[in-house]
Amino acid sequence: MPKQTKKTQLEEMDRGIYDIKDKVVYRKKTEQGLTEEIVRAISEEKNEPEWMLNFRLEALKIYNKKVNPVWGPDISAVNMDEITTYIRPDADLTDDWKKVPDEIADTFDRLGIPEAEKNAMLSGVGAQYDSEVVYHNIQKYLLDQGVVYTDFETGVREYPEVVKEYFGKCITPNLHKYAALHYAVWSGGSFVYVPEGVKVDVPLQSYFRLNAPGAGQFEHTLIIVEKDAYCHFIEGCSAPKYNMINLHAGGVELFVGENATLRYSTIENWSRNMYNLNTKRAVVQKNGKIEWVSGSFGSKVSMLYPASVLVGEHASSEYTGISFAGAGQNIDTGAKTIHAAPYTTSTVNSKSISKGGGVAVYRGLVKVTKNAHHCKSSVSCESLMLDSESRSDTIPVIDIRNKNVDLGHEAKIGRISDKVIFYLMSRGISEEEAKAMVVRGFAEPIAKELPLEYAVEMNNLIGLELEGSIG
């Protein structure tokens, strides 16, 4: 008798191309649930070295011991007995779009990924479908400079010493329950290595598409940017809507070398049956810089707090993010910064929009250690509520361990001004378009930090939200 699956009822809303479902065709998949046998099966499918299998099994033990966090949104509905942790699509990894199966290629074509690569807006592209990467390519001129950009499974196989040195060091399985889950069942993701002095002048992008219902996606991204190097990495995510829970628990480990800069941009556009429990963290050396640009849309629940650990003098972090919470959504996002060295600086610019009873929360941490004297931090949180049913909260934690610190925090929560809407309507603009203009203006500081095509996508997503048609 088939296992009964709890369903999550969703409003009938149309998200256009993002909700187009493909027939679920797979070459291999595990049973629902999370057991040692399943973890071993994933590792065997990937023909992994013994150290990786042992890492997975230890992470599984940690997962089983840890409990769900009680300080954020309710995630008790996530039942691993009802989640399929591994689905290998019926496709082989290739660097030729023509060799990607038509149905999968059509999905990425609708999302505009091949077009962006063809028009030289990207210097490298990876495309993951369910649990595995099906396409990966990088421009030859970067290869000639020693840049490595490949799927993470290939990284484990072809660069074992580098991966083993960094894997699990920035995010550890002990960090929280879903970090441990990630390490037990990770699959897919990206491995990027930028050698000393190399500037990756055009962005790299990985796009993650989860197609199967009742499945999880657990990609691992490891990026190493050496001394005096630069890289801009873009992450895109989406999934169609189902009446059952899907789970995303990826892991992103970033290592920024001395005098290096890494910009990490994300547009997450999950459907409202998704629990997005992702973990992202960067370690930044002397004079290095991490720049986070984040847009969080869709998903029933998101808990995502990109963290910067500033371990070298004069290291810096900038976080710029926006989230949109509609009916039935609880989007709990923010940023963490740990000043662990003197003269480090950080800025956080967070914006959220809520409508239809949605809950948008900024949850952040600024921690200054005892030795991190002469550091500076500025946090700004702005929330825009579009109706009286919605909710917005700002929950900052500030932990300062020495007296020589310059730190400021500012939070603003408000609604769209009736006077502004009346003024725009008096100029012949409809009420709906007037509200949309105000919201787009509110989001503009985030949009301008994105490459043009992604800023357009973000504005389109906001437009869908405002129409009440995003799922």
pLDDT of residue 26: 82
What would the mean pLDDT of 31-36 be, rounded to a whole number?
96
What would the mean pLDDT of 336-353 be, rounded to a whole number?
96
Task: Examine the pLDDT at 315 and tell me if it is beyond 50.
Answer: yes
- Least confident range of 38-42, 321-325, 406-410, 428-432: 428-432
Confidence of residue 6 (pLDDT cuts 50, 70, 90): very low
pLDDT of residue 20: 64
pLDDT of residue 14: 55
| Residue 316 included in any domain | no
| Residue 3 included in any domain | no
| Residue 298 included in any domain | yes
Q: Report pLDDT digits (tens) over 52-83.
A: 999 999 999 999 999 999 899 999 999 999 99
- Least confident range of 340-344, 426-430, 467-471: 467-471
| Sign of the torsion formed by the C-alpha atoms of 461, 465, 469 and 470 | positive
What domain range is 441 assigned to? 419-471
pLDDT of residue 415: 82
What would the mean pLDDT of 233-252 be, rounded to a whole number?
89
Task: Examine the pLDDT at 471 and tell me if it is beyond 50.
Answer: no
What is the average pLDDT value for the chain, to the nearest integer?
89
Task: Examine the pLDDT at 247 and tell me if it is beyond 80.
Answer: yes
| Residue 412 included in any domain | no
pLDDT of residue 19: 63
pLDDT of residue 450: 74
Do 64 and 266 contact (CB within 8 A), yes or no?
no
- Looking at the structure, tell me whether residues 84 and 225 fall in a common domain: yes
Q: Which of 304, 332, 363 is the last residue of a domain?
A: 304
- Looking at the structure, tell me whether residues 60 and 190 fall in a common domain: yes
Which positions ≥6 away from 320 have C-beta within 8 Å?
291, 292, 293, 294, 349, 350, 445, 446, 449
- Looking at the structure, tell me whether residues 127 and 257 fall in a common domain: yes
| Sign of the torsion formed by the C-alpha atoms of 127, 132, 137 and 142 | positive
What would the mean pLDDT of 90-100 be, rounded to a whole number?
90
Q: Where are the strands (E) in 36-107, listed by range?
A: 87-89
This prediction has a pTM of 0.91
Do 322 and 293 contact (CB within 8 A), yes or no?
no
Do 145 and 230 contact (CB within 8 A), yes or no?
no
- Least confident range of 29-43, 91-105, 168-182: 91-105
Confidence of residue 406 (pLDDT cuts 50, 70, 90): very high
What would the mean pLDDT of 226-255 be, rounded to a whole number?
92
Could you tell me the two tokens for 362? Answer: 């900024």
Q: Report pLDDT digits (tens) over 325-344.
A: 988 999 999 999 999 999 99
| Residue 366 included in any domain | no
Whole-angstrom distance, CA of residue 367 vs CA of residue 78: 31
Burial degree of 56 (CB within 10 A; 0-12, 13-18, 19+): buried
Burial degree of 92 (CB within 10 A; 0-12, 13-18, 19+): exposed
For 423, the enclosing helix (H) or strand (E) is helix 418-426
| Sign of the torsion formed by the C-alpha atoms of 52, 132, 79 and 468 | positive
Q: How many domains does the chain have?
A: 2
Q: Which of 283, 304, 325 is the last residue of a domain?
A: 304
Confidence of residue 1 (pLDDT cuts 50, 70, 90): very low
Kindly write down the DSSP assignment for every residue of 374-400, as one continuous string.
Answer: TEEEEEEEEEEESSSS-EEEEEEEEEE
Do 180 and 66 contact (CB within 8 A), yes or no?
yes
Confidence of residue 3 (pLDDT cuts 50, 70, 90): very low
Task: Examine the pLDDT at 89 and tell me if it is beyond 50.
Answer: yes
pLDDT of residue 431: 83
Confidence of residue 443 (pLDDT cuts 50, 70, 90): confident
Could you tell me the two tokens for 445? Answer: 């500081």
Do 184 and 63 contact (CB within 8 A), yes or no?
yes
- From residue 305, give the alpha-carbon distance in Å to each of 188, 292, 335: 22, 11, 5
pLDDT of residue 17: 61
- Looking at the structure, tell me whether residues 109 and 242 fall in a common domain: yes
| Residue 329 included in any domain | no
Task: Examine the pLDDT at 5 and tell me if it is beyond 60.
Answer: no
Q: Which of 237, 269, 304 is the last residue of a domain?
A: 304
pLDDT of residue 8: 40
pLDDT of residue 307: 98
What would the mean pLDDT of 37-63 be, rounded to a whole number?
97
Whole-angstrom distance, CA of residue 233 vs CA of residue 265: 6
What would the mean pLDDT of 1-11 be, rounded to a whole number?
41
| Residue 9 included in any domain | no
Question: Tokens 């730190």 correspond to what residue?
Answer: 407
- Looking at the structure, tell me whether residues 300 and 423 fall in a common domain: no
| Residue 393 included in any domain | no
Of the ranges 139-148, 426-435, 459-468, which is most confident?
139-148
